[in-house]
Amino acid sequence: MKPLLIALALILAAPLPAHAHPRDPRDLRELAQRHGIKVGSAVDVAALRAEADYRKVLNREFNHVTAENAMKWESVEPQRGVYTWADADAVVENARRNRQQVRGHTLVWHNQLPAWLTSGVADGSIDAAELRSILRDHITTQVGRYKGKIRAWDVVNEVVEEDGTLRQNIWLTHLGPGYIADAFRWAHRADPRAKLFINDYNLEWNQPKIETTLSIVKDLQSQGVPIHGVGFQGHLGIQYDYPGDWANVMRRFADLGLEIAVTELDVRMVLPVTPDKLATQADYYRRALTDCVSVKACKELTLWGYTDRHSWVPGWFEGEGSACVMDENLAPKPAYHALLTVPRQRR
């Protein structure tokens, strides 16, 4: 038998997981194609550079990527006026070579700001007028650098508190609530073709946060501000109930003409890992994708890292982890296979 035929025979003979169907997608790229959405992962840029296995799986599995930290303000401008684009450029260039689109994350946030900015505001050496100019320049410079290379930007991130009030950050304190509209306008001018999003956590279920975010969107739309989408971060934990009304919440935003994205999905658990916990985790991942594909406006589902080797969860939630669809050795977990079994839906 010829070598090519032998290889084909081995592929066809390879056993499927016990719970798989022969017509299920073979990987997450095929899953994305089945549903007509973007399936993405956050990218650890150090691993992208240094770990060939990480890079290979990332580029095989995903048609969409987000820089986990490389595009945040402290990363791109650690000193005032001194830009360090190498890490962000690496993510964008790797995506170009591997037919992946990119979500830019994030332009305006209260965390991971450079020390020169926060200290300058704190000691009064940067006043409100200068702060507004700095914010405008940051957005214009970063969005402009990647004009035509970024599909969507998280323009403002986590601007609503759990009780539904606007977050008391340096932007609200010194610039007033108008900073949100300004950020969208500046981003749109810098790249008129990029989709512009508001992004937040617990938006899947927290009613005060949902209502305030809806009000923000309606207010921006009434002013003619270019806002195109809403991002549900989707940081879930199996010790909490799955947000069962998530699809309906998505539809409320979709009814405003917005694109919907799940931008940072992971499902953590209290350690140690057990088969029952992995099964529950798999169910949560399956339900999240099912909710997304049930809503016509939901165009993206991005995992906040695909492997436990580089998950942010253990460093943030003491005693918790195993939040990703692959383990530390990049072996698929039940959650990975559960995603592949989600059936196509009429949308």
CATH number at residue 207: 3.20.20.80
Q: Assess if residue 6 is contained within a domain.
A: no
**So what's the pLDDT on residue 16?**
41
Q: How many CA atoms lie within 13 A of 2 on its CB side?
A: 3
Q: Which of 18-22, 62-66, 172-176, 178-182 has the lowest mean pLDDT?
A: 18-22
Three-state DSSP class for residue 36: coil
Q: At 347, is the pLDDT very low, low, confident or very high (cuts 50, 70, 90)?
A: low
**So what's the pLDDT on residue 23?**
83
CA angle 196, 202, 203 (to 5 degrees): 45
Q: Assess if residue 288 is contained within a domain.
A: no
Mean pLDDT of 248-276: 98
Mean pLDDT of 131-138: 98
Report the C-alpha gap between 184 and 126 in whole angstroms. Answer: 23
**pLDDT reading at 17 higher than 60:** no
Look up residue 311 and give its two tokens. 């998950």
Mean pLDDT of 293-319: 98
What is the distance of C-alpha 329 from the center of its chain?
23
Q: Assess if residue 271 is contained within a domain.
A: no
Mean pLDDT of 293-303: 98
How many separate domains does the chain show? 1
Report the C-alpha gap between 78 and 75 in whole angstroms. Answer: 6
Residue 47: domain span: 29-261
Q: At 15, is the pLDDT very low, low, confident or very high (cuts 50, 70, 90)?
A: very low
Q: What are phi and psi of 95, to 5 degrees?
A: -60, -45
For residue 309, give the DSSP letter. Answer: G
**pLDDT reading at 280 higher than 50:** yes
Report the C-alpha gap between 151 and 100 in whole angstroms. Answer: 10
DSSP H/E element including 193: none
Q: What are phi and psi of 70, to 5 degrees?
A: -70, -15
**So what's the pLDDT on residue 22?**
58
Count of residues in the chain: 347
Query: Looking at per-residue confidence, does 70 or 24 come out higher?
Result: 70
Q: Over the stretch 320-333, which tens digit does the pLDDT of each residue have?
A: 999 999 999 999 99
Q: How many CA atoms lie within 13 A of 46 on its CB side?
A: 4
- For the question of residue 264 being annotated catalytic, the response is yes
Rg over alpha carbons for the chain, rounded to the nearest Å, is 21
Fill in the amino acid letter for 187: A
Report the C-alpha gap between 40 and 102 in whole angstroms. Answer: 9
Q: Assess if residue 165 is contained within a domain.
A: yes
Report the C-alpha gap between 262 and 252 in whole angstroms. Answer: 15
**So what's the pLDDT on residue 12?**
33
**So what's the pLDDT on residue 1?**
40
Cβ pair 231, 199 in contact under 8 A:
yes
**So what's the pLDDT on residue 113?**
98
**pLDDT reading at 14 higher than 90:** no
**pLDDT reading at 44 higher than 90:** yes
Fill in the amino acid letter for 135: L
Q: At 24, is the pLDDT very low, low, confident or very high (cuts 50, 70, 90)?
A: confident
Dihedral of CA atoms 274, 276, 282, 283 in degrees, nearest 10, equals -160
**pLDDT reading at 189 higher than 90:** yes
> Which pTM was predicted?
0.93
Q: Assess if residue 242 is contained within a domain.
A: yes
Q: Which residues pair with 236 in a beta bridge?
A: 267
Look up residue 113 and give its two tokens. 């700001």
Cβ within 8 Å of residue 62, ≥6 positions away: 28, 29, 32, 39, 40, 41, 100, 306
**pLDDT reading at 107 higher than 80:** yes
Q: Among 68, 77, 204, 264, which one carries the catalytic annotation?
A: 264
Three-state DSSP class for residue 225: coil
Mean pLDDT of 161-179: 98
Mean pLDDT of 96-111: 98
Q: Which of 19-23, 128-132, 213-217 has the lowest mean pLDDT?
A: 19-23
Q: Is 123 left (phi over 0), alpha (psi -120 to 50) or beta?
A: alpha
**pLDDT reading at 3 higher than 90:** no
Q: Over the stretch 193-243, which tens digit does the pLDDT of each residue have?
A: 999 999 999 999 999 999 999 999 999 999 999 999 999 999 999 999 999
β-strands 195-200, 101-108 pairing: unpaired
Among residues 128, 144, 26, the alpha carbon closest in space to that of 85 is found at 144
Average pLDDT, the chain: 94
Cβ pair 249, 210 in contact under 8 A:
yes
